[in-house]
Amino acid sequence: TTRADAMFTKMCKKFKSKKSVWIAHFKYLFKGSRHDEAHKLLKRSLQSLPSYKHVETMSKFAQLEFELGSPERGRTIYNGLLEKHPKRMDLLFVNIDKEVKIGDISKARALFESVVNPVASGKKFNFSDKQMKSLFKKWYRVEEEHGDSNSQDRVKEEARKFVANSTARKTH
């Protein structure tokens, strides 16, 4: 492992603007249960990478955290990313997919709810009607796989309410 460590260190120095090198190093550290080192490396990577690569790098790190580290830390990273980037539905979907994958359907539902009922959650997402359509489709698919007819009906009802509100906003 010392040879691998040396190789990763050398690669991160040589290719410090390549996020794929940093991500490979994160993965290597997580697989070796070296979480603290991975966290220190994340800080270093964000100093070296250009800022437009930060969101993608943080997202990948959070995914590794979900799979190989602490899902709670992964959630925290995603919450921060979604607060800073409320229009990025791709981040929300990856977060939801990770919750479903680890079997925490209630957390996935809570994420869907936070978008549909932003007042209750205190979060303010800014998605277009077209994006909301894909959100409802995804939510419905999750409920088809992991829910029951009641939970599926709930998604349909939320979608109907959204369409009604959206149409009302456009006519005024």
Residue 129 has pLDDT above 60, yes or no: yes
Q: Quick one: which of 81, 135, 89 has its CA closest to 113?
A: 135
CB contact at 8 A, 30 and 64: yes
Burial-class residue 56 by CB neighbours within 10 Å (0-12, 13-18, 19+).
middle
Structure token pair of residue 53? 């690569």
Cβ atoms of 4 and 34 within 8 Å: the answer is no
Q: What digits encode the pLDDT tens for the residues 44-90? A: 999 999 999 999 999 999 999 999 999 999 999 999 999 999 899 99
pTM beyond 0.95: no
pLDDT tens-digit series, residues 95-109: 999 999 999 999 999
